[in-house]
Chain A
Amino acid sequence: MFKQLRPAVSVLAFMTLITGVLYPLAVTAVAQLALPAQANGSLLHNAQGAVRGSALLAQPVAGAEWFQARPSAADYASVPSGASNLAPSNPALAARIAADAQRWQAEGQGAVPMELVTTSASGLDPHLSPAAARYQVARIAAARGLPASRLEQLIEQHVQAPLVGPAVVNVLALNLALADNPSLVPSE
């Protein structure tokens, strides 16, 4: 075995150089040159250049006038991210969903969409199904004094429907559209 130690140490050192240093550096170089926006976290900036968030991470916004993202077991913490890990048989899951469903029912019509009462796997799920976004339209329309059709239209514009996955809307994109578009600002 001792005879094997020299090749063991040197092969590991060599592989560390190739796969641990050169490989990530090469990927970083290409990524930063060709795809800088994605490579740096898909950050969204305001007119002054300050970072408002990442297009890929959900952020909590309190208030009836905003679209609410899916509930987060880790309270939208990004370091570290986390899930509820509640078993389907855990009474705590049913109790939490019952309480949330009651709250949601006060604002929308019909059965509460599944996404709005279940926590996501990452706690940072930036998306909702179009149905779960539409469920919030009545509340937001009332809070903003806007016609519901205008919000429905906004949701339609933001639907992403990939061939190999469910249709979703990005909640942060919806909220930024509400914040930035003067025609959507509440008419006091």
Chain B
Amino acid sequence: MHSNDFLLILAFFALVLIPAPFLGRYLYRVMEGEKTWLSPVLQPVERLCYRVAGVDDEREHDWQTYALALLAFTLVSLLTLFSILMLQGSLPLNPQQLSGLEWTLAFNTAVSFATNTNWQAYSGEAQLSYFSQMLGLGVQNFVSPAVGLAVLVVFCRGIARRSSNSVGNFWVDLTRGTLYGLLPLCLLLALFLVWQGVPQTFQAYVTAHTLGGTDQVVPLGPAASQIAIKQLGTNGGGFFGVNSAHPFENPTAWSNLFEMAAILLIPAALLFTFGHYVKDLRQSRALLACMLILFSIGLAGTLYAEYQPNPALAALPIEQGASLEGKESRFGTTASALWATATTAASNGSVNAMHDSFSPLGAMVPLFNMMLGEVIFGGVGAGLYGMLLFVLIAVFLAGLMIGRSPEYLGKKLEAREVRLLVATLLVMPVGVLVFGSLAASLPGPAASVSNPGAHGFSQLLYAYTSGTANNGSAFAGFAAGTPYHNLMLGLAMLLGRFGYILPILAIAGSLAAKTRAPVGSNSFPTHGPLFVTLLTLTILLVGGLTFLPALALGPIAEHLTLFQGL
């Protein structure tokens, strides 16, 4: 590693962590309906939205109504996106005259974007019109993270409020999160990306006559605006097929740094939003410490593994160093490993290098990050509510150990909450192990793997992990675009989204209804190093251990074959 590698890592952490307290406080004010410096511009827009929708923004709802509104919105989103993708051939803004998608692919893509997964079974530049990208995928890129944010603030209110039946108004949370939270940041990032070389035009593709005498089609489109929200909204669905590895999607080392920091910017800030809700920023710092520990271990592991030369190439007359197969020269090994760690710690799923060609252990870290449920920063809203579930589990375990009834920030955890918590623990194992082994044991679906041996199994495991965790990154050699995988991965994504959201809304509703006992000297403190250690171990043992056998069959077996010649 050179000095610019260390500088990159340092700049990345600085860009994520320095704005976090300020952005976190801003987002708290936004979600609680307070005035911000953008209110003079955005408030009329916001009012107009409520008037058009017939929403009374003063009125809050109980958790059941909130959940129904969220489900109705997702259902309408799914149907709309599905129709756009099927009908794009007859819709405007289609200079390449692309036809509609096949129905299982349209279903998969609609679910994928409405659940903030952004799994790409399609290739953008070859299959989607500008209309589908902008008015279909682009819109879901905004509203699906806003839904995650809404669920998170409901959880925060559940802890902060006392004896309350109401948890908020879904339409207000959704609108404010999108307008005040995501939109201004996207405008800034989009223009920065254009400056670095990302196209932003409605022109048709251009044909160039190259030096070699052949013709080359230069794909264009309104890319920068979409890539900005793809990164900031932890979406990850690329404008171009190879995502942020494409020189148009990510042209320079600087665009790479900012796109990478944009993945974790809002998730890191939301830790502080949570601290403002519970009026205790020590809680934010404790959760941040836990996330940074897990992130750093993962990053160190990926970097170490990616810098090892591939033993299979040891006898060849080539430079013996880090493999650059599936990596871009302008990023090199460090930026590729850092991106892979960040994109799977969050539920982003964009890539700037091909994880399929990573070393076995270098690719195991992203896989493991997703298996933990993406709680290391995680998706917008989704990461922190996943983390808070682990916090409640850790508190419950601590309660069992010291023999007193568990409570978190003055809220008692009782049988109902614990039952719901355990239900969420089943989501990842069901999606990954049940759906994954089903696909592995059917001859047709299993034939989608493109690499032999243990790595083939890793490809399949990665696909179902990515789908259930709502990540969207892939071992891209896996032929995911078959009707079976389109449908089953679509189901896995729905399970991974609503298997968390519904229990969380229920837990939030029941927490909000409780009184909040004063946190006394007898309470188990949840901000010190002891709790951070307990929480980290809980995540690794409760979240991770389930998947050890599967990892042994995939990346670990491949590593042993490759490095020990077993």
In the bound complex, CA of A50 to CA of B208 (Å): 8
Q: How far is the CB of B229 from chain A (nearest CB, A)?
A: 8
A47 at interface, CB cutoff 8 A: no
In the bound complex, CA of A85 to CA of B199 (Å): 26
Q: Is the CB of B203 within 8 A of A40?
A: yes
Q: How far is the CB of A36 from chain B (nearest CB, A)?
A: 9
B353 at interface, CB cutoff 8 A: yes
Measured between beta carbons, the chain B residues less than 8 angstroms from A101 are 316-318
Task: Give the size category of A's interface with B.
Answer: 35 or more
Q: Is the CB of B68 within 8 A of A4?
A: yes
Which chain B residue lies CB-closest to A120?
A: B328
Which chain A residue lies CB-closest to B336?
A: A121
B515 at interface, CB cutoff 8 A: no
**Other-chain contact of B312, A30, A89, A113 (Cβ < 8 Å):** A89
Q: How far is the CB of A115 from chain B (nearest CB, A)?
A: 6
In the bound complex, CA of A128 to CA of B319 (Å): 14
Q: How far is the CB of A178 from chain B (nearest CB, A)?
A: 9
A105 at interface, CB cutoff 8 A: yes
Measured between beta carbons, the chain A residues less than 8 angstroms from B454 are 89
Q: Is the CB of A179 within 8 A of B201?
A: no
B564 at interface, CB cutoff 8 A: no
A162 at interface, CB cutoff 8 A: yes
Q: Is the CB of B222 within 8 A of A27?
A: yes
Q: Is the CB of A114 within 8 A of B558?
A: no
Q: Is the CB of A89 within 8 A of B360?
A: yes
Which chain B residue lies CB-closest to A39?
A: B200
Q: Is the CB of A164 within 8 A of B210?
A: no
Q: Is the CB of A162 within 8 A of B199?
A: no
In the bound complex, CA of A8 to CA of B147 (Å): 12
Q: Is the CB of B196 within 8 A of A38?
A: yes
In the bound complex, CA of A176 to CA of B467 (Å): 44
Q: How far is the CB of A146 from chain B (nearest CB, A)?
A: 17
In the bound complex, CA of A97 to CA of B475 (Å): 21
Taking A1-B71, A21-B135, A85-B476 as contacts, is the C-beta distance between A114 and B318 under 8 angstroms? yes
In the bound complex, CA of A57 to CA of B218 (Å): 8
Measured between beta carbons, the chain B residues less than 8 angstroms from A39 are 194, 199-201, 224
CB contact list, B1-44 vs A, under 8 A: 2, 4, 7-8, 11
**Other-chain contact of A61, B2, B134, B135, B210 (Cβ < 8 Å):** B210
Q: What is the 8 Å Cβ interface bit string for chain B, positions 113-129, against chain A (1 contact, 0 not)?
A: 00000000001111100
**Other-chain contact of A5, B72, B195, B323 (Cβ < 8 Å):** B72
**Other-chain contact of A122, B11, B72, B171, B246 (Cβ < 8 Å):** B246
Q: Is the CB of A86 within 8 A of B357?
A: yes
B470 at interface, CB cutoff 8 A: no
In the bound complex, CA of A21 to CA of B561 (Å): 52
Q: What is the 8 Å Cβ interface bit string for chain B, positions 132-155, against chain A (1 contact, 0 not)?
A: 001110110111000000000000
In the bound complex, CA of A6 to CA of B171 (Å): 11
Taking A56-B248, A89-B360 as contacts, is the C-beta distance between A15 and B318 under 8 angstroms? no
Q: How far is the CB of B74 from chain A (nearest CB, A)?
A: 9
Q: Is the CB of A83 within 8 A of B207?
A: no
**Number of contacting residues on B, CB 8 A?**
131
Q: How far is the CB of B25 from chain A (nearest CB, A)?
A: 24
Q: How far is the CB of B462 from chain A (nearest CB, A)?
A: 11
B518 at interface, CB cutoff 8 A: no
State which of A73-81, A137-145, A150-158 sits at the interface with chain B: A73-81
In the bound complex, CA of A52 to CA of B139 (Å): 35
In the bound complex, CA of A4 to CA of B198 (Å): 39
Q: Is the CB of B212 within 8 A of A62?
A: yes
Q: Is the CB of A126 within 8 A of B247?
A: yes
In the bound complex, CA of A149 to CA of B351 (Å): 39
B553 at interface, CB cutoff 8 A: no
Q: Is the CB of A11 within 8 A of B199?
A: no
Measured between beta carbons, the chain B residues less than 8 angstroms from A6 are 53-54
Measured between beta carbons, the chain A residues less than 8 angstroms from B310 are 88
A31 at interface, CB cutoff 8 A: yes
Q: How far is the CB of B286 from chain A (nearest CB, A)?
A: 30
Q: Is the CB of A12 within 8 A of B76?
A: yes
Q: How far is the CB of A5 from chain B (nearest CB, A)?
A: 6
In the bound complex, CA of A119 to CA of B242 (Å): 13
In the bound complex, CA of A118 to CA of B206 (Å): 28
B211 at interface, CB cutoff 8 A: yes
Measured between beta carbons, the chain B residues less than 8 angstroms from A94 are 312-313, 316
- Chain B CB within 10 Å, residue with most, of A78, A121, A161: A121
CB contact list, A150-188 vs B, under 8 A: 161-166, 168, 172, 175-176, 179
**Other-chain contact of B179, A18, A115, A122, A123 (Cβ < 8 Å):** A18
CB contact list, A41-98 vs B, under 8 A: 41-43, 50-63, 66, 70, 76, 78-91, 93-94, 97-98
B485 at interface, CB cutoff 8 A: no
- Chain B CB within 10 Å, residue with most, of A30, A58, A98, A124: A124
Taking A14-B49, A56-B197, A83-B245 as contacts, is the C-beta distance between A119 and B325 under 8 angstroms? yes
B426 at interface, CB cutoff 8 A: no
A20 at interface, CB cutoff 8 A: yes
Q: Is the CB of B212 within 8 A of A40?
A: no
In the bound complex, CA of A154 to CA of B356 (Å): 36
In the bound complex, CA of A87 to CA of B460 (Å): 13
A112 at interface, CB cutoff 8 A: yes
Measured between beta carbons, the chain A residues less than 8 angstroms from B326 are 83-86, 118-121
Taking A10-B54, A31-B200 as contacts, is the C-beta distance between A129 and B329 under 8 angstroms? yes
8 further contact pairs, Cβ within 8 A, besides A78-B219, A79-B125 = A16-B135, A19-B229, A27-B200, A53-B208, A83-B476, A86-B451, A114-B324, A122-B328
A residues near B, CB below 8 A? Answer: 1, 4-16, 18-21, 23-24, 26-28, 30-32, 34-35, 38-43, 50-63, 66, 70, 76, 78-91, 93-94, 97-98, 101-102, 105, 111-115, 117-129, 132, 161-166, 168, 172, 175-176, 179
The 8 A-B residue pairs whose C-beta atoms are closest, nearest first, are A165-B253, A85-B477, A121-B245, A4-B72, A80-B123, A87-B455, A80-B126, A85-B356
Chain A to chain B contacts (Cβ below 8 Å), 21 pairs: A4-B68, A4-B71, A4-B73, A7-B54, A14-B48, A19-B142, A19-B229, A20-B138, A23-B187, A31-B191, A31-B201, A38-B196, A38-B199, A59-B212, A61-B211, A80-B127, A84-B325, A84-B326, A85-B356, A89-B561, A97-B313
B residues near A, CB below 8 A? Answer: 2, 4, 7-8, 11, 45, 48-49, 52-55, 65, 68-69, 71-73, 75-77, 80, 123-127, 134-136, 138-139, 141-143, 171, 174-175, 178-179, 183, 186-187, 190-191, 194-203, 205-212, 214, 216-220, 222, 224-226, 228-229, 240-242, 245-248, 251-254, 256-257, 310, 312-313, 316-332, 335, 351-354, 356-360, 450-455, 458, 475-477, 558, 561-562
